[in-house]
A and B are shown apart, each in its own frame.
Chain A
Amino acid sequence: MSKKEKDLREEPQTENNENALSDEATGEVLETDPEPISSAEMLRAEEETLSAEPEIPQALGQAEMATEETGEESDEIEDPIFRELAEPKLPELPKENRARLLMQSPTRIQFYWSVKHNPFQTLQKAIGNTGSYTLVVKLVNQTNGREEIFPVEAEGSWWFNVESNSVYRAEIGFYAPNRPFVRVMFSNALETPRRNPSPRQATDADWAVTAMEFANVLDATGYSQDAFEVAMAGDDRDRAEDATRNAFSQFIGDPKGSDDLEGIPMEEIRFALLAIASGFSLEDLRGHISAALLTLLEKNADKLTPENALAALNEHFDVSMEEVEEGEEVIGEAVYGLSLVHFPRSSRKRRTSPRTLLPKGIAPELERKISPVSSLRPV
């Protein structure tokens, strides 16, 4: 992270110090002459931002095709209406205020935006000296309050790696060190979904399902990785959280290592430990875990060995080497026909012993009530 990026992140951003010029993506701003925007960071932003200009493949000219095919269409080709429709034009997008977040996956979203009127002129009219202000996009995770800020131009699009199970909003506005953030417009709120089973069971007794029972259900459905995780976490969330924190501390060899886990879902940490124990590299995990956890792991890169991860999982969850090895058949998305139908990947072996399915220390009498994951399989 560059110093400037760090500064941008550290600048306190609250609703109180924001001076919104417009609250809506479609709101009006004052029309003024355009002001050139150029700086090294702008150039960088331009490089990283996907072009707002559509790269549209040239379609076959049906008009030409018709001319080649038959003579009878030649009159139609001369017809201005026929020609108008035969050569569809996708114009440059008109200048409008747009700010839209779209989800691609629980961990990847796209933001496209454009500001109708020159925002610097508007800012100048509002506050006078625009000084060191830079036009930025601010992505706000409304669930945990984290913000990211990147310099941008008045229109563009950008892909963000984000966290699952969170609500995001993007803002276009002006940033300057030690000055209030000035919001120009903001996007729709976008909720990224959970990408693993809910930790919550139904309160109605008819539908309540224990972790073990639900692991069985997941396993029978082909979601064996999720079954493994659900079984490992068990029903006692506090105990599972303690075990996860302790396992992580042991993994990175720092008794206080779990202090930095604030805001990171426990199931994500267990997923990362299991993946590393299974031989996946940190690079493999990129895009599959949150940026916060990735950063934390990167800081401890020298300790990220499969052996360390397995030892931590074994100590705190009784996970054995056999369980983290590649297990069942892996089914990809390749299908017959047109649809690319999603199949869950079931690369991890099922846990087959009820004794090993919960964090250590669970009462033996409770263990006996729990059926093995394989109970749904045919005898």
Chain B
Amino acid sequence: MPVGYFSLILHAHLPFVRHPEYPEFLEEDWFYEAITEVYLPLIHIFQNLHERGARPRLAMNVSPPLCEMLADKLLEERYTRHLENLLELARKEEVRVREEAPDFYDAARMYVDNLGAALDLWNNKYGRNLINAFRQLQEEGVLEIITCCATHGFLPLISTKEARRAQIQIAVANYKKHFHRQPRGIWLAECAYEPGIEHLLKESGIEYFIGDSHAILYGDPRPRFGVHAPIVCPNGVAVFARDVETSQQVWSAEVGYPGNGAYREFYRDVGWDLPIEYLRPHLHKDGARRHLGLKYHRITGRTVPGDKKEPYVPNWAREKAAEDATDFVRKRIEQAYRLRDGFGGHPPFVAAPYDAELYGHWWFEGPSFIDYVFRKIHFDQNEIEAITPGDFLDARIPIQIQQPTASSWGENGYYKVWINEGNSWMYPYQHDAERKMTELADYYHHPNEIEWRILNQLARELLLAQSSDWAFQIYQGTTVQYSSRRFQSHIHRFNLLAKMIDTKEFNHDLLAEIERRDNIFAEIDYRVYRSK
């Protein structure tokens, strides 16, 4: 038996952003950047570790909207163009930098190599289908893929039991479509929980969820091992809670690894640094500057202003990632020993959940860090064992019964980010739609073909309006206009469709256009919203 268990849990999620009505769309870049910087590198690293016998083992949520985007043909084509365009710019840059700015040459060369490799992986190794790659990693025993709320809906702020249940059941159905099995665990969007949600999870066959630390620490009765062992709700659904120490080591902007001066600076980007005419072929047709993903500077120092940042040196950053991985594993071993000693010999379970997009997008060297962490866990020590929550449950180790408490992993630990003076206007609209959806689902027992399509599309519009991403970004002050507009669009479309089915004045073209745009969850069945 190891001294302790370590469970890395990655939450890969992006809101459903797909705009077929335009030839290109700025916010679709979120998805394209994440494929290049996060998903492809992580898949490649996990596959390599597996093939070399390093036995990586972790849990990963691939959220339903992300699955749907990864499986979408339009986005697949657009991403391919995006990557080819970026590689073309990188190649152009390699030539320019060699002559004009040799200090940046190593970085420019790195982008040519990385993007070339990414295009090769995308086109050839994975056949432009990362869902298959994730599924293969699950079948090989590397990943335990868990699901998430269908559109990352913030369950405690959803007003009806039926609408909450739909977020779970639609997610499970979508998981089965993509991964051909029942999910064991779920990442509740924003780790937002309130008592009672576990009953909806159990109805859908979910065995466990991820909660924040105080979900368990403030639960009743007191947890014997704190967050360092799961608890099980009275109804049998287990909860694994976030370990604060591992969070801070990686995630804290004050003390976390990514703030080291050797790592790549996120905010200096050629999209803002180079002449607009030079960049124009690589920008959208509106010619607006944007982040392009080629960044030549390192953080240098926490207080160093943007224009004083020094050139990025890929080798230094790689070495630093290895050093930080060594430190991280050493601290996990120390943590395991001291917790085990404090627990009278009971091996602790350390759950370390992070946004997947932290690794690679925000922290460029993050995937390398994960690579080194798993190598060191496998080759350099025996004290800690990398497992998943499902593995822990399979081990049949006794688990304390406890009622967790309401919580989220967001600012201040509760719901402030998602309901506050700036975004609370959304909820009366959302809640009206939730009530209306169940009224219609209860009413239509034998809909004709067009009514069936409208009812299913109503469900899609409600689900998309419920995405916690919109309220979050409004609170953050980032992409406020887009997020407000997206919420308004889905409520607007919901209202149009509700009116259509209420009045029986069917506008087939309008329905078809809405279906074409918001095509998430082809398998959806509106009857999930029924109250009985």
Contacts and interface: CB of A to CB of B under 8 A. Distances in A.
Q: Do A and B come together as binding partners?
A: yes
A105 B22 contact: no
Contacts of B507: 81
B510 interface: yes
B206 to A, nearest CB: 22
A332 B212 contact: no
A337 B410 contact: no
Given A340-B411, A376-B338, A103 B406 contact: yes
Interface in B398-440: 398, 400-402, 405-417, 419-421, 424-429, 431-432, 435
Contact of B221 (A102, A103, A200): A200
Interface string B487-508: 0110111011000000000010
B195 interface: yes
B517 A338 contact: no
Looking at A112, A220, A226, A342, the one whose CB has the most chain B CB atoms below 10 A away is A342
A298 interface: no
Contacts of A52: 428
A321 interface: no
Contacts, number: 270
B226 A217 contact: yes
Closest 7 CB pairs of A and B: A59-B485, A54-B425, A88-B492, A217-B226, A222-B244, A334-B253, A376-B342
A334 B252 contact: yes
A56 to B, nearest CB: 6
Contacts of A82: 21, 513
| Overall SS of chain A's interface | loop
A206 B496 CA distance: 58
Given A59-B482, A84-B496, A202-B221, A69 B428 contact: no
A374 to B, nearest CB: 10
A81 B255 contact: no
Contact of B248 (A194, A214, A343): A343
A119 to B, nearest CB: 18
B129 interface: no
Interface of A: 26, 50, 52-60, 62, 65-66, 68-70, 72-73, 76, 81-82, 84-86, 88-91, 93-94, 96, 98, 100, 102-106, 108, 110, 112, 114, 157, 159, 188, 191-198, 200-204, 206-209, 214, 216-218, 220-223, 226, 329, 331-344, 375-378
Contact of A56 (B337, B488, B517): B488
Contacts of A194: 218, 220, 405
Given A85-B493, A96-B432, A335-B251, A220 B222 contact: no
A204 B217 CA distance: 18
A141 B23 CA distance: 55
A198 B222 contact: yes
B462 interface: no
B460 interface: no
| B interface residue count range (under 10 / 10 to 19 / 20 to 34 / 35 or more) | 35 or more
A376 B252 contact: no
A218 B247 contact: no
Interface in B217-235: 217-228
A161 to B, nearest CB: 13
B339 interface: yes
Contacts of B253: 334-336
A70 B285 contact: yes
Contacts of A335: 251-253, 256
A72 B259 CA distance: 46
Contacts of B337: 378
Contact of A102 (B157, B481, B496): B157
A209 B412 contact: no
Contact of B480 (A57, A191, A195, A333): A57
A342 B413 contact: yes
Of A65, A68, A226, A377, most B-chain CB atoms within 10 Å: A65
B429 A90 contact: yes
Contacts of B156: 103
